[in-house]
Structure 1
Amino acid sequence: MLVGRLGKRIESIIPKTRLPPVDGISTLYGPDILVGIIWKNDIREFDMYLPEGQWTDVWSDETVEGPTEVAIETPLHKIPIFVRSGSGVDLGNLNQLFHESVDIDSSKPDLESLLENESF
């Protein structure tokens, strides 16, 4: 699987004999950001392996001690992202950003009705 120059599949960093079987694919971006890759439709729960250390879920702010496997709820807007605790990486408040984006989107004009009322 092609992940890009910045990301490395976690399986390439941690020996496969030490990884539990999980459904999901996880990618490390540097040593401190771990992202779950959801590539199937209708996935609403994602099993993710967290390597050794303390990892913070950027959506819930919950900290989990690794190595362990976690099941994460994944509604359509949520990509599983964990940051290594103490790393100094701050991705902001993703819940707040999501809700602000929904509010902005709800205040935009209905383009379909604009097109119907214009002579385009």
Structure 2
Amino acid sequence: MTKLTTHVLDVYSGKPGKGIKVDLYYYKNDDQKSKINTIVLNNDGRSDNALIEGVDFKEGKYELIFFVGDYFKKIAEISKIPFLDDVVVKFGISNIKEHYHVPLLVSPWSYSTYRGS
């Protein structure tokens, strides 16, 4: 089944990003977006269920917001104003017959993402 999934790896500690809150938005047009889902990542840094799937999985522009500042405040000694607070990843789904996976590799000071499998 086609769906959208994600996971987070905390490269600072070398562990999964457990407990990170993630919001998913869909862009109706260039300046109007609507929230589709909010999840909290499990102990493996993954969602227990797909962020979106089935008939709700459609072509278009999406946005994931990973609330990493809250996560790093709990596990690391960082300043009260974090360098990275919310990591925003905007991406497009162009083929609803494929699985889309958006991993995030993150530290308190950097991040990387890609289209995974």
TM normalised by structure 2 equals 0.33
Structure whose CA Rg is larger: 1
TM normalised by structure 1 equals 0.33
**Greater per-residue strand proportion:** 2
Q: Whose RCO is larger (CA < 8 A, sep 6+)?
A: 2
